[in-house]
Structure 1
Amino acid sequence: MPLDPDQRTRLLAAKARALVADASNADASELRVTPFPGGALVRAATAAWCLLDDGAVRSLGAAMVLADREGIATLHVMAESVETSSIVSRRAEQFENAPTVWRIEGRSLVPASPASVPVPVEPSAAARELIGMLTAAGVDVTIEHGEIRGELRGLEIARVVESTEGTRLEVGVGRHDREAFTMVHGNLPTAKALESVIASVDAVRRADAEAHPLRRLAPEGWLRWRLLQDPHLIGAQVLQSVEPPTPRDSVKDIGASIAVGRDLSGQPIVVACSVGIDLDVVPTAADARVLNDPDARVVIVVPERDDHPATRRLAERLIGPAEVIGLSGEWRDRETAP
């Protein structure tokens, strides 16, 4: 049985305290632990040690912000798995005064090696044959980590699924909705099913629509879609969507949506779109630059109300040019301005 959140927090705190006590020769009983979503931070002398929960790649930003808030210049980050520690290490080395990343082996810590740039995963030929159905319906096609998705204003409403039973287009907002739609409307032709979902989502995912759950899902994707329509809002000539650095498991997942393009002077840019206060948007944007164009300028775009000082402080620490743009007004509308 999985641990509940409180139990998990206590376990992380105890483990972090024990690891830091061994690494720093400190008395564990005197170490102060500060839990935060996805990890626990321990202060030892003039340094901070942060233990990330397994798989919590997106907690690096929170750890850096917390250390900055505590006035600690030296940050050590610990992670259990090779995958998590290596991705965090790749992200950390994009910053000035970079955190030191360690991989946990038993009760010992070993330096983590930065993850290499992965080889892009390409969809199969059978999966690509279904793209035409999406484009014919007026749906935006995105490919993320080998999966073909259909989006409407940044929200996934269809996905090409490959299994032992063959390749098919499933419609619905997220996996559970796709499964439910198939159960209820299994005999409906795919094109008709797609048309039905488009009509339902289009009616509520609009700037002038009343409050609705589908209006709140994937706001980062909606913001990116907005910029793809009007790249001049951030001083770009043209933008195109690209996959995020790490896969998204659900339409409810929070994480920056990424685009690449060129600014008005023709220079390459990597754009990270975020809505709400996402403390990891800067490490995510930096990682997206590594994966797409290491020489590009990073542009982080948020609604003006979400233009937080912590985001700007992290962006200022990036190696290489970076800019944070807060869009004023209702960013879903045409009247939005930088």
Structure 2
Amino acid sequence: MALDPERRRQLHAMKLRSLVSEHLGDSTQDVVGTDDGALATLSRDRVAALAEERPERALGGALASAVRAAATEIHIFASGSSDVLARRAQLFSNAITVWEVNDGDVTPAVASDTATRKPVPDVPELVSTLNESGLEVVVEHGVIVGEIAGLEVARIISDEYGNRIEVGVGAHDREVFALLHGNMPTVEAIEQVANVVRSHRLPAAEPHPLNRLGAERWLRSHLVSKPERVGASELVTAPPPVQRTNLKEAVPAVATGRLADGTDVVVVCAVGIDLDLIPFAADARLFLDPQATLMVVIPQRDAHSILYELADQLIDPASVVPIDNDWREWTSS
């Protein structure tokens, strides 16, 4: 039986109180349990956070909590991904300590290196098929996919059975499509799925799951097509610092390129308010080009003031660039 959400939040708050008392010798003045962990205000201008669920996303919330409390010291207790959190924490000017919590043992976390670039399958014929079908070819962490306006409709699979294109929106859809239309020629199969997706990712399209999935990748697709919208002369898709696990996971979309003045830039696109956006974006720059200018692009409605504050706290600050709320109505012409 699943734990009641309110009870889970209470347990998270209790766990953080215990960790703070035992390992920081402090008491919590104010603690709030969340679905993913807990946040607490301590004495002496300090805050603490518990990263229990989706721990790699805890840094942004901890930084925002420190801003609200005017704290100068942050402690994060993480049950997983402590190495990623420690790596991202080093990119900020704040005093941040990440603790690894493992079976009751609490030790300082060691920052990991950025991800190793994975080899890309050498399948030029299959890539040509994606291109000739009018798809946007995107390569991330060794995986080649074909997208329509940022939404995957085909993927190149390389395994013990050989190299092939599987068609569908996500893993489940690919399996179902193969069962129902396994004998359909690949080009025809791509066209059938692409036309359905294309009809829903157009200006003035009615609300539909196919125009809600991967909104951040749709925004990136617009900017790659017309980089001048954010002052760039050219942009190409780039992999995120941590591999996306499934199609429904909202992971900021990344691009690299040059600004109009020739400066190298890393652009990170997101849709919706995400407190962890700035740590993620800084990690993306570290992964792709540590010397580049960092630009975080979001719709105007999502440009909360806290994002600007967190961007300014980076050792190498980022620019938050709000764009039209009606960006879905943009055209490529």
- The letter of the residue matching 2:20 is V
Report if the CA contact (8 A) 2:8-2:35 is conserved: no
Q: Which residue of 2 aligns with 1:264?
A: 260
Q: Where does residue 317 of structure 1 map in the other structure?
A: 313
Q: Which amino acid aligns with 1:19?
A: L
Task: Tell me the secondary structure at the aligned position of residue 250 of structure 2.
Answer: coil
- Structure 1 residue runs of 5 or longer lacking an equivalent are none
* Deviation for aligned residue 1:174: 1.2
Show the counterpart of 1:154: 150
**Residue type matched to 2:41 in 1?**
R
Q: What's the CA shift for 1:105?
A: 3.8
Change (3 A) 1:300 1:103: same
TM-score using structure 2 length: 0.92
Greater CA deviation, 168-177 or 6-15?
6-15
Asked if 1:171 is matched to 2:170, the reply is no
Q: Which one is further off, 14-23 or 36-45?
A: 36-45
Compare 257-266 and 155-164 and name the one that shifted more: 155-164
Answering whether residue 119 of structure 2 is matched by residue 97 of structure 1, we say no
Counterpart CA distance in 1 for 2:148 and 2:328 is: 13
Name the residue aligned to 1:186: 182
Once residues 295 and 332 of structure 1 are traced to their aligned partners in structure 2, the CA distance between those partners, rounded to angstroms, is 31
Amino acid at match of 2:110: S
Distance change (3 Å), C-alpha of 1:113 and 1:138 = same
Alignment of 1:295-314 (within 5 A): 295-314=291-310
2:292 is the alignment partner of 1:293: no
1:137 matches 2:136: no
Match of 1:205 in 2: 201
Q: Separation in 2 of the partners of 1:335 and 1:143?
A: 24
- Cross-structure match for 2:243: 247
CA deviation vs aligned residue, 1:229-284 (integer Å, no higher than 9, x gap): 11111111111110111111222211210011111111111101011111111111
Q: Separation in 2 of the partners of 1:149 and 1:287?
A: 23
Which secondary structure state, in structure 2, belongs to the residue aligned with residue 192 of structure 1? helix
RMSD: 2.1
Alignment of 1:22 onto 2:22: yes
Please tell me the residue identity of whatever aligns with 2:286: V
Paired residue for 2:42?
44
> By how many angstroms is 1:322 displaced?
1.5
Contact 1:37 1:59 (C-alpha < 8 Å) held by counterparts: no
Deviation string, structure 1 residues 51-103 (Cα, Å, up to 9, x no partner)? 1125421231122112322332211112123xx11111111111111421111
Measured in 1, the distance between the counterparts of 2:140 and 2:6 equals 33
Q: 1:129, CA displacement in angstroms? A: 4.3
Task: Return the alpha-carbon distance in structure 1 between the equivalents of residues 188 and 14 of structure 2.
Answer: 55
Q: Which moved more, 1:295-304 or 1:159-168?
A: 159-168
Give the Cα separation in 2 of the matches to 1:2 and 1:185: 38
- Structure 2 Cα separation of the partners of residues 11 and 256 of structure 1: 30
Residues 1:76 and 2:75 aligned together = yes
Give the length in aligned residue pairs: 331
Of 277-286 and 111-120, the range deviating more from structure 2: 111-120
Instruction: Specify whether residues 159 and 91 from structure 1 end up closer, same or farther in structure 2 by C-alpha distance, changes over 3 A only.
Output: same
Counterparts of 1:210-221 in structure 2, within 5 Å, are 210-221=206-217
Give the SS at the match of 2:329.
Answer: coil
Q: Give the superposition deviation at 1:335.
A: 7.7
Structure 1 residue 37: deviation in Å?
4.2
